[in-house]
Structure 1
Amino acid sequence: MCAFIALLSLGGFARADDATTWDASSWRDIETKYIFGFTTGSGIGIEGEKEFTTDTIGRFGKRDGRYSATETKYEFEFTPSQFVQIEFGVLGSTHDIRNVTDLDDRRQVAFGGGFGEFRYLAIERTSNNPLSVTLAFEPTVRLVDETGGERVHNYEFETTLNADLELVRNRLFAGFNLLYEPEYTHTLLDETIRETKLGGSAALSFRVTPNVVIGGEVWYLAFTGDAVMLGPTLYVRFTPKMFMTAAWNTQVWGREVRTPFSLNLAEFQRHRARLKFAVEF
């Protein structure tokens, strides 16, 4: 579907004036926050800008059985100053699990919880400085476990450093993330679980037309074990105020604690996908 949308967009841009379409120096600046897939760029938008977003992440595949789970953020975002962006919203989740080791069979749609995010632009890109860096803090309250779907009280405190580098003016961008995410979970069995997720990513995105960006990214993630995921990314701006981001990651390497398996499918999934639609106003 994403490839079809991109082809339609490219076809529309091809009818435009060649000098306007292919001369990157004449293109408007792009907000880099959304162009790297699961990797988040440093952009925080224009002062006074507001945005409504639906952001769905799907996770697919365990070592056995059938496994799929999604979580969707319904998010409102606004930028009160050129250095600060604030977001908040609610979560919806789905689970379809059957015959997966250590997980109960489950098929459900549920209200997942809520979240907020505060982003601060620490280093701003200028004509003399191609690097931009944003610090982000996102507390989340979950009522449904994102992996197994059971009822829990889960509190996450995700802290990330989002950086990107403009390698070629208006054309080629590199993105980098560092992730630190402590979690506290209280289960219905009165168990308390404390975990911390660590991660880092690198991404490269190429702007093929003024409104289409393609690229790829690689992620390293760690709980008790770790995993490496990589895959392609796509960004399409349909109108000046509406756009889409899509990404697909596949686990290519992993390590579970005290097991000989070559992938970590106990703590992570075999594939994950992201589809995000946003309207600015």
Structure 2
Amino acid sequence: MPLISLALASSRRFAALLIVVGATDPFAVAVPAQAGETQTGSSAREAQGGGKGDKPDKVDTENLFGFTEGTDTGKKGEQEVLVDSIGRFSKRRDGPGRSGYGAAQPLISYQYDPTDNFSIEPGLRFDARDSRGIAGVPNKAFGTFNGGSVELKYQFFKRTEDRPFSLAVLAEPQYARITPVEGQGADVYSVESRLIADMRLVPDTLWAGFNLIYDPQVSRLKGSGEVDRTSTLSLSGAVMAKIAGDLFVGPEVRYMRAYEGAFLNRFEGHAVFVGPVLHYHVMEKGFLTLAYSTQVFGHDRDPDFSDRVFNLTQFSRHNLRVRFGVEF
């Protein structure tokens, strides 16, 4: 350092040389320009915080991973309209005869990004189902409006070339008119909360996402006034590979635990789901995500079903998610 100071004091040319070297050498000493001189090229961009290592990741992971949420939010002022439907199929039959179970909860939402790291997404929810001959589930078939929700998401920092990972938190208060499993009329309140992490494993090729999800729910049945409190704790993860152009595919794994009580009070059962995910950019500002998962293992604490391979009381056997969005 004394030698550099002496050189700067004795030679303006040598100072200019240090500026040029500093633009290419990450260990060089930054030197301010002398009067009448200007910074140009990459040195000027780095002085403004626009160095190569600060460039954001090219891939938006928000909707990349299927049932697993990505950390990304849009740029300030961006808007998006989304149609998101999750279908659940096949539960334990109740005796001989015809049986079947299918339930779908479509969501139509509008997302707005007031800042680069924060998004707000209000939405309207619907419910359509057909159940017959299923244990613990009334026989019924209908479709109806099912309430609304507001998703609030904050991303702590963006992925860049030098920092391949990111973190975010999400909270989604919801109100529904139909219980999610039985399809009974009720006032249902829940707040799904997620801790989200994702990482670029191989530049422009491979990404991974992880979620820790806590979802408490309180339901008051219409007519009887009976109150039911439940909660779910889940861990999900997916790895997505860029196959060609705007097409991404990969596997996803979810582990879900069901509890009686809104604060994980009493363990009721768990299940493991595995399946593929496909994500495709339909247009410049549109996307389509398809995710399917099937229960490969489960356990129910109910003595009547504890010896069964799957948990079909709290969970269904098959899940399908279709999500489409357009940004403007």
Q: Using structure 2 for the length normalisation, give the TM-score.
A: 0.76
User: Structure 1: how far apart are the matches of 2:277 and 2:180?
Assistant: 23
Q: How far 1:210 moved relative to its partner?
A: 2.7
Taking every aligned residue pair, what percent have the same amino acid on both sides?
33
1:172-183 equivalences in 2 (<5 Å): 172-183=206-217
Mapped pair 1:67 → 2:96: no
Give the counterpart of 2:325 among 248, 269, 278.
278
User: Structure 1: how far apart are the matches of 2:312 and 2:92?
Assistant: 6
User: Structure 1: how far apart are the matches of 2:162 and 2:183?
Assistant: 49
Q: RMSD in angstroms over aligned alpha carbons?
A: 1.0
In structure 2, the partner of 1:129 is 163
Mapped pair 1:112 → 2:146: yes
In structure 1, the partner of 2:27 is none
What secondary structure, in the 3-state scheme, does the structure 2 residue paired with 1:128 have? coil
What secondary structure, in the 3-state scheme, does the structure 2 residue paired with 1:40 have? coil
Count of residue pairs brought into register by the alignment: 254
In structure 2, the partner of 1:19 is none
In structure 1, the partner of 2:74 is 45
What secondary structure, in the 3-state scheme, does the structure 1 residue paired with 2:62 have? helix
User: Structure 1: how far apart are the matches of 2:150 and 2:214?
Assistant: 16
Q: Which runs of 5+ in 2 are unaligned?
A: 1-56, 94-98, 259-267
Q: How far 1:85 moved relative to its partner?
A: 0.6
Contact 2:287 2:324 in 1 (8 A): yes
Comparing both structures, which one devotes a greater share of its residues to strand?
A: 1
Contact 1:62 1:270 in 2 (8 A): yes
Structure 1 letter corresponding to 2:121 = E
Q: Deviations over 1:35-76 (max 9, x none)?
A: 111011111122211000100000000021200000001000
Q: Deviations over 1:66-112 (max 9, x none)?
A: 00000001000011101101100110110100011111100000111
In structure 2, the partner of 1:12 is none
Q: How far 1:270 moved relative to its partner?
A: 0.4
Structure 2 letter corresponding to 1:211 = D
Q: Deviations over 1:151-195 (max 9, x none)?
A: 110001111011111001121001100001111111122111111
Give the counterpart of 1:31 among 52, 56, 60.
60
Contact 1:95 1:148 in 2 (8 A): no
Q: Deviations over 1:192-233 (max 9, x none)?
A: 111111000111000112311101100000112110001000
What secondary structure, in the 3-state scheme, does the structure 2 residue paired with 1:38 have? coil
User: Structure 2: how far apart are the matches of 1:170 and 1:92?
Assistant: 37
Q: Which runs of 5+ in 1 are unaligned?
A: 1-27
User: Structure 1: how far apart are the matches of 2:320 and 2:206?
Assistant: 23
Q: How far 1:123 moved relative to its partner?
A: 3.2
Give the counterpart of 2:235 among 195, 200, 217.
200
User: Structure 2: how far apart are the matches of 1:174 and 1:243?
Assistant: 18
Contact 2:136 2:182 in 1 (8 A): no
User: Structure 2: how far apart are the matches of 1:143 and 1:156?
Assistant: 12
Q: Which has the larger radius of gyration?
A: 2
What secondary structure, in the 3-state scheme, does the structure 2 residue paired with 1:252 have? strand
1:238-249 equivalences in 2 (<5 Å): 238-249=282-293
Contact 1:72 1:91 in 2 (8 A): yes
In structure 1, the partner of 2:297 is 253
1:52-91 equivalences in 2 (<5 Å): 52-64=81-93, 65-91=99-125
Deviates more, 1:66-75 or 1:124-133: 124-133
Q: Using structure 1 for the length normalisation, give the TM-score.
A: 0.89
Structure 2 letter corresponding to 1:253 = F
User: Structure 1: how far apart are the matches of 2:85 and 2:106?
Assistant: 4
Q: Deviations over 1:114-163 (max 9, x none)?
A: 00011001232122211111100000001011212111100011110111
